[in-house]
Amino acid sequence: MLSRHIALFMSAGLLAAAISAFSVGRVLAADHEAGVPLAPADAAGPWTVETGGHAVCVIKLSAAKAGNAGFALNAPADCAAALPASVAGWTPSGDGMALTGADGQVVLSFGRWSNSLFVSHQASGVDIQLQRGGPHA
């Protein structure tokens, strides 16, 4: 009987340790997930702009400040089909990131879906997505 109680106690202890480890892992993983502000250094680099299921262009986000616009952003001319012409920079937001104009006003907001995917829902029903890296197949 005593050995059964010890076995139950040990099982409960192992379960508690596993739950604790899982919870700690989730808290650490949450540092880079949806709902957590994006650090400029983490966002720096190329991002593919996609809309209507097609890659349109690649923008480059920088961690360097760009005056009132927030952080620097390089958008080539071929992005005009998907992004407003007034885009001059970017800034982290509470739930993702926003592309900004030269005056720092938000031009286009993106919600964070994962570390590598940000989505802007448009009234037209055709979303604009930013995916980390170069063009995706």
For 49-98, the pLDDT digits (tens) are 999 989 999 999 999 999 999 999 999 999 998 999 999 999 999 889 99
The answer to whether residue 137 is domain-embedded is: no
pLDDT at position 51, please? 93
| One domain, residues 53 and 105 | yes
pLDDT at position 40, please? 94
Place of tokens 């009234």: 123
Tens of pLDDT, residues 3-43: 554 444 444 443 444 334 433 333 333 344 555 678 999 99
- Position 49, amino acid: V
When pLDDT is cut at 50, 70 and 90, the band that residue 1 belongs to is: low
Residue 101 has pLDDT above 50, yes or no: yes
| One domain, residues 109 and 127 | yes
Name the pTM for this structure.
0.72
Provide the domain limits for residue 10: 2-32
pLDDT at position 81, please? 87
Q: What total of structural domains would you count in the chain? A: 2
| One domain, residues 19 and 51 | no
> Residue 137 has what DSSP assignment?
-
pLDDT at position 34, please? 56
- Position 48, amino acid: T
Task: Find the CATH number of the domain harbouring 107.
Answer: 2.40.128.10
- Angstrom CA distances, 115 to 9, 52, 75, 111, stand at 40, 21, 21, 11
Helix or strand holding residue 2 (H, E): helix 2-29
Structure token pair of residue 129: 């997505």
